[in-house]
């Protein structure tokens, strides 16, 4: 950011060199280090400052300068360590507190960052810089009203910084005050007419309000200010598309891809636009790119199938619809269109089967119309070909949704436990958790593949399909027992036939209503069904756009997803088996995904009390504590999980453990 560079320059100019025995050499090294940094040669600056610090380990200014150099090289942990050393050597070093706060904010450690800003402001309440930086941190932490108060204090002293108005405008925008947001974007533009950011922000607001002519003018100005600012091209393409100028939109998408050749969202949008104007061959090439970058996204195959159909490539279209169905077997639309294509090639049996399957699934969704989670699928005319904004990405699992905030995309909850089918030699790690009642249940089922695990099945897909057919045969031969139904429910859920699996588990429960383990698997399947539906219904989430920290805000989905039925099943499990640690763990996961982190923490704690060696519960409780801003305790829990065998723990600790120093 321009302001950060300005503050760094001021810090370098104001740096006071203290007396020492080798004053001449100290001044020389400081001068060389500062000169290298002003020339953006940060690696050489670090080498020079290393020499200084070898001779004088008490030179707190040297650590401060080296921290700035590391920050500019994106070595954020190294920068934080150097700023911390400078503060230890000089506890009233205001600038070191400020820059450590900025670094911690970029690391997502907002709690400690805000504490550092408090220290810096207490030491020098007259300096405007910390108010701006704290405002950005509060904006990222979604403390919008507090962020506005900080930006107000900053602009009272520094009224020529455009970014301050723009960030305040974003805060107002998130508080739904579009009038004040517009006014601040306007001020930002007037303050610096050479920066693209203000034009782009105001243009995006115009676009949202469908004021296309004004939006286009702003995006044109943003591009005139910076011809490499790709988001302006992307947004202008959306304007062109909405105003029926597809060729102009395609030209702008081309420019985005020239600037960023791996931008799958742009390929996806360009593919949809090319399909709309009948340029099917090029649309296919774009969808192929997206499939390469996002192979597990259902909509890629679903949309590409339509393009194949338009080209008369019926077999390829059917194959793509089949791929979509394989990823999500409850996707009614895919069955409908595959059925129509099968009718074209005189596969009447396949066509009838697809149409019947689609109607069954539509009926199942319509029964749930009171639940907004399912309502989108009751309308089989739903289309998935609308161009999407740049502030989006292909969504992953809902088990990642808790991590879609604060820049912690690499942290994920470990998934729910469920009875699954695994290679017998892969279940050893789980047996340390098995109480006697669970072992007795496994013996009662007497299936060598059966295990309680959170990991994906280790059996190949064709083996799972074969087992499902065998369980179906057993059910059809005679009146099925609850054991037969339970096994069939497991195989159905593993091949993603979620609706059928829930119905099969329900039939098993009707025969054996006092068995807690049947409810556990029905709960997990219901949660997984919500998970997959959310990944299609809300296929795109907000992502980082550029280097501006304010752009790293994450919006919550407009649609909410209810885990009430899955949670009710777990409540039934705990009523039947109050000491079942895995049920508390699963309920904690669902509470975390629903945003109730304190309740999730309590359930993970109960699971650990029941089983002190429950590694996954330690790991997920650690993740939740980090999101509750208790980073130190969170890392201690994740460390314990690693000690107990969770390999994923050490990847998290590499990033977050140093924040506890």
- Report d(CA 155, CA 150) in Å as an integer: 9
For tokens 């290298």, what's the residue? 36
- Report d(CA 374, CA 101) in Å as an integer: 44
Residue 7: closest CA among 164, 140, 133, 139 = 133
642 lies in some domain: yes
- Report d(CA 135, CA 191) in Å as an integer: 19
Q: How far is CA 462 from the centre of its chain?
A: 31
Q: How far is CA 243 from CA 205, 216, 237, 651, in A?
A: 16, 10, 10, 47
Total domains, the chain: 3
Residue ranges of alpha helices (H) inside 294-344 are 298-310, 314-327, 332-344
389 lies in some domain: no
- Report d(CA 323, CA 291) in Å as an integer: 11
- Report d(CA 283, CA 279) in Å as an integer: 6
257 lies in some domain: no
480 lies in some domain: yes
Q: Does residue 89 sit in the same domain as residue 228?
A: yes
Q: Does residue 442 sit in the same domain as residue 489?
A: yes
Q: Does residue 224 sit in the same domain as residue 293?
A: no
Q: Does residue 273 sit in the same domain as residue 308?
A: yes
Residue 111: closest CA among 493, 406, 424 = 406
297 lies in some domain: yes
Residue ranges of alpha helices (H) inside 435-552 are 436-445, 461-477, 482-494, 498-511, 516-537
Three-state DSSP at 160 gives coil
Three-state DSSP at 320 gives helix
CATH of the domain at 336: 1.25.40.10
Taking the CA atoms of 621, 626, 630 and 631 in sequence, report the sign of the dihedral they define.
positive
Q: Residues 415-449: pLDDT tens digits?
A: 899 999 988 765 445 455 678 898 899 999 989 89
pLDDT for the residue numbered 521: 94
- What are the backbone dihedrals phi and psi of residue 432, each rounded to the nearest 5 degrees, phi first? -70, -15
pLDDT for the residue numbered 294: 75
256 lies in some domain: no
242 lies in some domain: yes
Of the residues 346, 378, 410, which one is the last residue of a structural domain? 378
Q: Which residues of the chain have pLDDT under 70?
A: 1-26, 365-411, 425-433, 532-561, 654-661
Q: Does residue 176 sit in the same domain as residue 236?
A: yes
**Structural Rg of the chain based on CA atoms:** 29
Angle at 214 between CA 210 and CA 219, to 5 degrees: 100
For tokens 């519960």, what's the residue? 617
Q: Does residue 275 sit in the same domain as residue 246?
A: no
Residue 157: closest CA among 197, 122, 124, 119 = 124
Region at 190 (left for phi over 0; alpha for psi -120 to 50; beta for the rest)? alpha
pLDDT for the residue numbered 462: 81
Q: Does residue 469 sit in the same domain as residue 533?
A: yes
Q: Does residue 162 sit in the same domain as residue 286?
A: no
pLDDT for the residue numbered 3: 52
Domain hosting residue 107, numbered range: 2-251
pLDDT for the residue numbered 57: 82
163 lies in some domain: yes
Residue 129 near residue 102 (C-beta atoms within 8 A): no
Q: Does residue 611 sit in the same domain as residue 636?
A: yes
Residue 361 near residue 499 (C-beta atoms within 8 A): yes
Neighbours of 476 (CB within 10 A): 9
For tokens 């009224």, what's the residue? 159
- Report d(CA 305, CA 327) in Å as an integer: 14
For tokens 């550092």, what's the residue? 116
Q: Does residue 217 sit in the same domain as residue 144?
A: yes
Long-range contacts of 431-434 (CB under 8 A, 24+ apart): 432/613, 433/581, 433/582, 433/611, 433/613, 433/614
**DSSP code string of 203-219:** HHHHHHTT-HHHHHHHH
pTM of the model: 0.55
Q: Which residues contact 586 (CB under 8 A, 6 or more apart)?
A: 416, 417, 520, 523, 524, 570
Q: Does residue 438 sit in the same domain as residue 557?
A: yes
Q: What is the DSSP letter of 418?
A: E
Long-range contacts of 154-159 (CB under 8 A, 24+ apart): 154/128, 154/129, 157/128, 158/128, 158/132, 159/191
- Report d(CA 240, CA 219) in Å as an integer: 11
Q: Which residues contact 567 (CB under 8 A, 6 or more apart)?
A: 523, 587, 590, 591
Residue 411 near residue 626 (C-beta atoms within 8 A): yes
Show the tokens assigned to 537: 């219904």
Residue 220 near residue 197 (C-beta atoms within 8 A): no
Of the residues 251, 279, 298, which one is the last residue of a structural domain? 251
Residue 464: closest CA among 429, 502, 493 = 493
Angle at 659 between CA 656 and CA 661, to 5 degrees: 135
Q: Does residue 552 sit in the same domain as residue 618?
A: yes
Residue 268: closest CA among 137, 390, 106 = 390
């Amino acid at each position: 950011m321009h302001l950060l560079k300005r503050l760094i320059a001021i810090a370098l100019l104001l740096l006071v060199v203290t007396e020492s025995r080798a004053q001449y050499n100290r001044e020389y090294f400081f001068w060389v280090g500062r000169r290298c940094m002003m020339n953006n040669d940060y690696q050489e600056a670090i080498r020079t400052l290393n020499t200084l610090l070898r001779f004088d380990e008490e030179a707190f200014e040297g650590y401060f300068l080296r921290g700035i150099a590391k920050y500019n090289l994106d070595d954020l942990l190294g920068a934080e360590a150097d700023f911390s050393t400078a503060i230890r050597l000089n506890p009233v070093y205001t600038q070191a507190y400020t820059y450590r706060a900025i670094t911690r904010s970029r690391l997502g450690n907002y709690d400690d960052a805000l504490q550092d800003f408090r220290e810096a402001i207490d030491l020098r309440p007259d300096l405007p810089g910390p108010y701006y930086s704290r405002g950005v941190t509060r904006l990222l932490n979604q403390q919008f009203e507090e962020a506005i108060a900080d930006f107000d204090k900053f602009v009272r002293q520094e009224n020529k910084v455009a970014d301050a108005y723009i960030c305040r405008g974003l805060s107002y925008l998130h508080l739904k005050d579009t009038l004040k947001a517009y006014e601040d974007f306007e001020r930002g533009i007037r303050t610096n007419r050479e920066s693209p950011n203000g034009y782009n922000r105001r243009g995006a607001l115009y676009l949202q309000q469908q004021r296309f002519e004004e939006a286009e003018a702003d995006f044109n100005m943003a591009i005139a200010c910076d011809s490499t600012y790709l988001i302006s091209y992307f947004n202008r393409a959306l304007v062109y598309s909405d105003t029926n100028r597809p060729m102009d939109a395609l030209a702008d998408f081309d420019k985005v891809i020239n600037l960023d050749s791996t931008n799958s969202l742009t390929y996806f949008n360009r593919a949809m636009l090319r399909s709309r104007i009948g340029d099917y061959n090029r649309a296919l090439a774009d969808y192929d790119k997206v499939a390469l970058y996002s192979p597990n996204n259902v909509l890629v195959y679903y949309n590409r199938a339509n393009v194949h159909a338009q080209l008369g490539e019926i077999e390829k279209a059917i194959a793509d619809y089949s791929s979509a169905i394989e990823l999500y077997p409850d996707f009614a639309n895919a069955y409908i269109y595959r059925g129509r294509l099968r009718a074209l090639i005189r596969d009447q049996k396949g066509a009838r089967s697809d149409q019947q399957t689609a109607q069954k699934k539509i009926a199942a969704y319509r029964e749930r119309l009171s639940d907004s989670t399912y309502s989108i699928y009751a309308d089989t005319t739903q289309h998935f070909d609308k161009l999407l904004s740049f502030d989006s990405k292909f969504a992953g699992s809902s088990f990642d949704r808790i991590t879609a905030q604060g820049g912690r995309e690499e942290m994920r909850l470990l998934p729910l436990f469920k009875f699954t089918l695994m290679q017998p030699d892969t279940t050893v790690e789980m047996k340390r958790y098995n109480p006697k009642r669970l072992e007795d249940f496994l013996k009662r089922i007497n299936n060598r593949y059966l295990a309680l695990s959170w990991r994906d099945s280790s059996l190949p897909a064709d083996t799972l399909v074969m087992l499902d057919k065998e369980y179906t045969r057993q059910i059809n031969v005679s009146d099925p027992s609850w054991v037969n139904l339970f096994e069939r429910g497991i195989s159905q859920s593993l091949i993603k036939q979620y609706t059928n699996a829930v119905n099969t588990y329900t039939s098993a429960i009707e025969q054996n209503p006092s068995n807690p383990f049947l409810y556990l698997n029905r709960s997990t399947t219901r949660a997984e069904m919500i998970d997959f539906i959310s990944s299609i219904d809300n296929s795109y989430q907000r992502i980082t756009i550029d280097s501006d920290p304010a752009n790293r805000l994450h919006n919550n989905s407009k649609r909410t997803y209810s885990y009430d039925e899955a949670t009710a099943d777990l409540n039934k499990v705990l009523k039947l088996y109050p000491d079942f640690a895995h049920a508390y763990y699963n309920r904690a996961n669902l509470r975390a995904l629903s945003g109730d982190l304190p309740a999730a923490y309590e359930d993970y704690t109960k699971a650990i009390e029941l089983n002190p060696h429950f590694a996954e519960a330690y790991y997920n409780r650690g993740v939740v504590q980090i999101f509750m801003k208790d980073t130190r305790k969170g890392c201690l829990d994740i460390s314990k999980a690693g000690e107990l065998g969770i390999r994923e723990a050490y990847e998290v600790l590499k990033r977050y453990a140093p924040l506890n120093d």
